[in-house]
Structure 1
Amino acid sequence: MASSIPTHMKAWTYSEYGKSSQVLKFESSVPVPDVKDDQVLIKVAAVSLNPIDYKRMEAAFAPTDSPLPTIPGYDVAGVVVKVGNEVTKFKVGDEVYGDINEKALDHPKVNGSLAEYTAAEEKLLAHKPQNLSFGEAASLPLTIETAYEGLERAEFSAGKSILVLGGAGGVGTHVIQLAKHFYGASKVAATASTKKLQVLRDLGADLPIDYTKDNFEDLPEKFDVVYDAVGETERAFKAVKEGGKVVTIVPPGFSTAIFFILKSDGTILEKLRPHLESCKIKPIIDPKSPFPFSETVEAFSYLETNRATGKVVIDPIP
């Protein structure tokens, strides 16, 4: 199989920081990344975009970034075409998916997923659920792992209530589903704009809140956990019960909130696999997706509007 792997590939790259529409360029001959002992080489089938991709491109964490030029992209789904000497979980031909950067902000890979091939550590990947397309699988890793990690840190459990701020976004759609179908929440409330309230209901939210009309902190009801995926942490504390917990994924956080940045882990994806294969938890892909590989710049521009429902996916590659 290795003999059929080319030396060069097509990829999207940027060699200076700035807006995606100005700095992201298509390259037709970028070296295929080498594979370390603990890594596999993936023939990329689909990728999903995350806000962290364009924030990184705009130099939001330049002090801890890897050197430019960079191929962006965290989430990937594809087929293993080469395995490192120490890899035991995967073999050539396996369909895999994952978030390829273990530490999101600390020297993420120079060779991201927006390319024909990408290399990733075995521990960051999982076998793709058989019922999901590559595009559906690619939409999941970073956001579903973030949703899960936040709920774990908040010690969420059966019978507790939760309010999800930003329920129709990439992370929020998974927090709602996990809280309801994985943890057994007693009540799930979530915020979204008027036209996305039905999305919240379809995901399992008991109380959809239209943030354009109602202030969630004015509700008489308070919640065991508030999961803030939009950066409204100060307001979130007005909606939590005494002794309850607020978890946020939006820097700079808030002194008494649980703030974290995801550490990617393929075992989370393996743990959730039965719930994905039984369709209890579903990928939520924005209706404008998938974007073709050639329209990656347009996909970023759309993501940057903050209007996407669920995830923006690039599929197929190339």
Structure 2
Amino acid sequence: MTSIPSHMRAWIYSEYGNIEEVLKFDPNVPTPHLMENQVLIKVVAAAINPVDYKRALGHFKDIDSPLPTAPGYDVAGVVVKVGNQVKKFKVGDEVYGDINEITLDHPKTIGSLAEYTAVEEKVLAHKPSNLSFVEAASLPLAIITAYQGLETAQFSAGKSILVLGGAGGVGSLVIQIAKHIFGASKIAATSSTGKLELLRNLGADLPIDYTKENFEELAEKFDVVYDAVGQSERALKGVKEGSKVVTIVAPATPPAIPFLLTSDGDLLEKLRPYLESGKVKPILDPKSPFPFSQTVKAFSYLKTNRATGKVVIYPIP
């Protein structure tokens, strides 16, 4: 392995505001120091998420880490150094994960939009052998959110589900996991007109064009509604009496359950056979990947809410 430099390139913001305005390229950021339970990752690819630009706006400043910060939760890369307590990984391992165990509680000051990031062993997993770094980087936050959200809704085999935002980063994985892992009896999902075919390919039995029909007017009601777009009030009209709505976009209208993931490397390892067999596939936006130099442009695109699947930055730097 090449020697680890004392400084590196990263995207940093030093004040809160619109991420397109405050995020700056810095070629001289100190490389993170390693704690005993961490590995140092040479970042190869990183996905971006709405939480990144919401953090930058200062929405969570009371529990945020101090500025300046390099954003980025999802990472895929190569281990270049390991702490003394690390058991699962060695130098040279290809790994991926969501680097912040608790999403909003003092996330790392150096996230994944940097050449190197220091990450706790327990939130990482070995990269599935059949996936590229770009595909692997697209998964952790979204796939953990999809799986844990279904658990929160007490979803199980034989139940029906409606997924709001089925073509998005989380929704596209909810459909696949509900079908192939949980054993859904029926899957309905919403998207715009041009993405209905994708919903069918992902496994949706009933694709719904939200530009032409209102899901809450369907005669059929569902055992679970998974709201990935922030329409919990409408979602409550789509479930059977006493059934559950889970939403990942605040605020939630009671009794809808607001949900935020806990990053978990063991869950990623558990999902690995489904990824390696191709039963569950990463869905990348056609514009992905954006080069590291176009990170700001990538955020502008993500904020349009028109992305299909995930937006990934590669190569880094």
The aligned counterpart of 1:274 is 273
* TM-fit CA distance, 1:53: 0.5
Q: How does 1:31-180 map to 2 (within 5 A)?
A: 31-180=30-179
* TM-fit CA distance, 1:50: 0.4
* TM-fit CA distance, 1:237: 1.0
Task: Provide the rounded CA distance (Å) in 2 between the counterparts of 1:244 and 1:260.
Answer: 16
The aligned counterpart of 2:284 is 285
* TM-fit CA distance, 1:243: 2.2
Task: Provide the rounded CA distance (Å) in 1 between the counterparts of 2:314 and 2:130.
Answer: 17
Aligned-pair Cα RMSD in Å: 0.8
**Residues 47, 138 of structure 2: 8 Å contact kept:** yes
Q: How does 1:206-217 map to 2 (within 5 A)?
A: 206-217=205-216
The aligned counterpart of 2:222 is 223
**Residues 233, 252 of structure 2: 8 Å contact kept:** no
List 4+ stretches of structure 1 deviating above 6 A.
none
Task: Provide the rounded CA distance (Å) in 2 between the counterparts of 1:302 and 1:47.
Answer: 15
Structure 1 runs not aligned, ≥5 long: none
Q: Give aligned-pair identity as a percent.
A: 74
Task: Provide the rounded CA distance (Å) in 2 between the counterparts of 1:283 and 1:144.
Answer: 9
The aligned counterpart of 2:303 is 304
**Residues 228, 248 of structure 2: 8 Å contact kept:** yes
When structure 1 is superposed on structure 2, of 245-254 and 87-96 the one drifting more is: 245-254
Structure 2 runs not aligned, ≥5 long: none
* Number of aligned residues: 317
The aligned counterpart of 2:313 is 314
* Secondary structure of the corresponding residue to residue 4 of structure 1: coil
* TM-fit CA distance, 1:128: 0.2
* Secondary structure of the corresponding residue to residue 241 of structure 2: strand
Task: Provide the rounded CA distance (Å) in 2 between the counterparts of 1:300 and 1:231.
Answer: 19
Task: Provide the rounded CA distance (Å) in 2 between the counterparts of 1:14 and 1:90.
Answer: 31
Q: Deviations over 1:264-298 (max 9, x none)?
A: 11111111000000000000000001000010010
**Residues 99, 119 of structure 2: 8 Å contact kept:** yes
* TM-fit CA distance, 1:254: 2.2
* Secondary structure of the corresponding residue to residue 161 of structure 2: strand
Query: How does the TM-score come out when normalised to structure 1?
Result: 0.98
